[in-house]
Structure 1
Amino acid sequence: MKALNLIALFCFITVNKLVAQTPQAVEADLLKSFKKIEYWDEQQRKGGDGASESLEGANDEFGSKLKKYAETYPASISMPFNSLKKEQLDIFTSADGLFRIYSWDTWTGGTMHICANVLQYKAGDKTKSSLMNNPGDGGAPFYSNLYTFKAGDKTYYFGIYGVIESSRYAGTGIRAFAIQNGVLNNDAKIIKTQSGLHSTIFYEYDFGSVVDIPFEKRPTITFDQTTQTIHVPLVNAKAQVTAKFITYKFNGRYFEKIKS
């Protein structure tokens, strides 16, 4: 009888563990955690005591939880997470389904926005992730697009990212990633400039030069798979974004600037 009770208890625990691991439960748990960031941001704006520290804690909790789920539940790399997207968690997945970027504003930086990102990728039969919440080029980046580029037997992922440095200055960049030897390389040097091979192109600009242009029409970095070219807006000496572009074309080994 005691043995039967132990078996029943084991089954109960196992079933509940499985229920907690369903996609719906994972998304609900992440959503609950993500909403804490919004709550403490509102309290911070109201001048609540300890709100800033609680906001940082909420971001740490969500980032750690998202990273853990990204590794524990491999299927999460293809989950739509629509409820999280509605709450402004940006999610971009590569065309081959092997790489995904989760990006959000931590609301901890004032006029200089500090964002955080979880990078999730498949390497063989394993799914791995990393949390990036430290400032990058010119600030702490948020990702706004992801392109997939195949060159022979190699695959590169181009993440388009932006930074908000202040109420006046911002920046935009492109970073090349690659999954190599079971590890994500976030410094895949495939872009050649006058100073050598790099994994990124980044430019800063006066936000006032684009503020009156509808968001979807603003000049920005783009990648054209068909022509294998990267187009980067030209910024003049006054830090104003112009309608002209600089073009980098793939020559079989790396992307190199071509004459316009």
Structure 2
Amino acid sequence: MKKVILVCVLFLSVNGLFAQTTKRIEADLLKSFKKIDYWRWNNKDTTINNIDSLFEANNRFGRKLQNYASKYPYTIYAPFHSLIKNDVDINTSSDNLLRVYSWDTETGGTMHFFQNVFQYKERAKVYASFTPYKVEGDDQPNYRKIYTLTSNGTSYYLVTFLTIGSSKDIVKGLEIFQIKKDTLVGTKLIKTKNGLTNELFYYYDLSKTDDDIDADIKYDSVKSIIYMPLVTQHNRATKKYITYKFTGKYFEKVKS
């Protein structure tokens, strides 16, 4: 009985310690992230170059997030509610082995630029990758939903993304990744007329697309089918779809 009580006490203590550490990590990340908003909107010192400071604020937040994500493995499960509330998109795979943090850098106008941290787990170790800004206008998409496909004991991750070129120019798509030998790699699992690829994407004009059109790319995990909206030659998204079904080895185009 004493052993059971001791185990319970230790379990609660460890959980409490993790909760407190996660809380401190989140507070530090939020403080860093809010510097992006500060340099975008609030700095009044005309002697300081806001745009350079804005780039650095994004890179500093990204590096800090990458460090925490790789140093503290349990952060891959952390809810980080305050970051989400402040517009950091956080999406996690159903098996909790892949998470993507994505945010708007606020360095554009009607054209938006994003940065991302990928956090992934293989065996008992967690890794994180981040690509900092190098030049103005570095174009990275906003990664959104993560779908999981398991085939022959291997997990593949279908990650949807969004790129905003202007108030009307939109690109959406999907990339397929695999965690392999401690690395997150693009996996060419889609068969097209031009060969194998790990990516599908499409451009459409928002101003020409009806408001009731759902122009998102989707994945049906039960049927193993990717649904990509059909776009007309005039760049208008429609209610019709181009479909790719997983046949056991590749996603191949089929009649919808």
Deviations 1:97-144 (A, max 9, x none): 110000000011222211000000011221101013569xx9420012
Tell me the distance in 2 between the aligned counterparts of 1:168 and 1:144. Answer: 19
Q: What are the superposed Cα offsets for residues 192-233 of structure 1, whole Å, 9 maximum, x if unpaired?
A: 1100110000111112134x626xx62210000110100000
Q: Kindly report the root-mean-square deviation, in angstroms, between the aligned alpha carbons of the 2 structures.
A: 2.2
**Is the 8 Å Cα contact of residues 139 and 165 (structure 1) preserved in structure 2?**
no
1:136-176 CA-partner distances (Å, limit 9, x unpaired): xx942001211111112110111110000123211001000
Task: Supply the distance in 2 between the matched residues of 1:42 and 1:139 (Cα, whole angstroms).
Answer: 21
Q: TM-score with structure 2 length normalisation? A: 0.86
Closer, same or farther: CA 47–191 of 1 in aligned 2, 3 Å: farther
Runs of 4+ with >2 A deviation: 46-49, 132-135
Same amino acid, percent of matched pairs: 44
* Correspondence for 1:203: 202
Structure 1 counterpart SS, 2:107: coil
Contact 1:229 1:249 in 2 (8 A): yes
The 1-side partners of 2:182 and 2:65 are apart by 21
Residue pairs, 1:43-122, within 5 angstroms: 43=42, 48=46, 49-122=48-121
Paired residues of 1:33 and 1:58 also in contact (CA < 8 A): yes
What pairs up with 1:118-197 in 2 under 5 angstroms?
A: 118-133=117-132, 139-185=139-185, 187-197=186-196
- Give the whole-Å Cα distance in 1 for the aligned partners of 2:113 and 2:72: 27
8 A contact 2:115–2:140 mirrored in 1 = yes
User: Which deviates further from its counterpart, 143-152 or 236-245?
Assistant: 143-152
Structure 1: gaps (5+ residues):
1-17
Equivalent pair of 2:59/2:132 in contact (CA under 8 Å): no
Q: In the TM superposition, what whole-angstrom CA distance separates every residue of 1:32-89 from its partner, at most 9, and x where no partner exists?
A: 0011111111137x79542111111110110000000000000000000001000000
Mapped contact 2:214–2:239 kept (Cα < 8 A): no
Q: How far apart, in 2, do the equivalents of 1:191 and 1:242 lie?
A: 22
SS across alignment from 2:130: strand
Change (3 A) 1:203 1:247: same
- 1:254 matched to 2:250: yes
Residues 1:221 and 2:217 are matched in the alignment: yes
Shift of 1:190: 0.4
Q: What is the alpha-carbon distance in structure 1 between the residues aligned to residue 202 and residue 40 of structure 2?
A: 29
CA distance in structure 2 between the aligned counterparts of 1:38 and 1:213, rounded to whole angstroms:
30
Three-state SS of the structure 1 residue aligned to 2:55 is helix
Partner residue in 2 for 1:39? 38
How many equivalent residue pairs? 236
Aligned-residue offset at 1:93: 0.4
Does the aligned pair in 1 maintain the 2:127–2:182 contact within 8 Å?
A: no
TM-score (norm 1): 0.85
Unaligned runs of 5+ in 2: 1-16
